[in-house]
Amino acid sequence: CVIVTKSTVPVGTTNEIKKIISKKNKEDKFDVVSNPEFLREGSAINDFMRPDRVVIGCENKKSEGIMKELYRPLYLIETPIVSTTIESSEIIKYASNSFLATKISFINQVADLCEAVGADVQDVARGMGIDKRIGGKFLHAGPGYGGSCFPKDVKAFITTGEKNGINLSILSAVDYYN
């Protein structure tokens, strides 16, 4: 049996689920897998059918094989599949959302500067976005990031860092600015 977490969860959650189930299931005939979803608001169906990547966090080749077989139709259309540890899988989701939230906060601070000096933030963002290392997505100045994921994920990622003795000061500034 393979038990899969799809939700955005703090690192360690999937292993905690395994411990809880192991207490009830002494035979230990199951695996747990972290398989976070990357669905955007307003695009969930398309993102589900044509994801930009699939992340599989697992402990062994058997559960990895089961998950890869499940995602075989996506592999055939060349969707990148990232196989990694459970912990890395859990962090990939938080790190991705936190990075996007950082881009939004960054361009909003640039917009403040543009307003102060008479520059056009849309021209600045367009000029920045041409650089393939930066890209144009999430460089639209506005009231800040919102939605259901970015605010909670940034805060949760900061808390995870604190619990592990790591100061994610960049994200603290992003959270404060937003």
Which positions are catalytic? Answer: 149
CA–CA distance, 50 with 153 (Å, rounded to integer): 23
Which residues have C-beta within 8 Å of that of residue 84, sequence separation ≥ 6?
55, 56, 57, 92
Taking the alpha carbons at both ends of the chain, their separation in whole angstroms is 42
H or E element at residue 84: strand 81-84
Q: What is the dihedral of CA 105, 86, 36, 7, to 10 degrees?
A: -90
What type of residue is 70?
A: L
Q: 44-66 burial, b for 16+ CB within 10 Å, e for fewer?
A: eeeeeeebeebbbbbeeeebbeb
Question: DSSP class of residue 132?
Answer: T
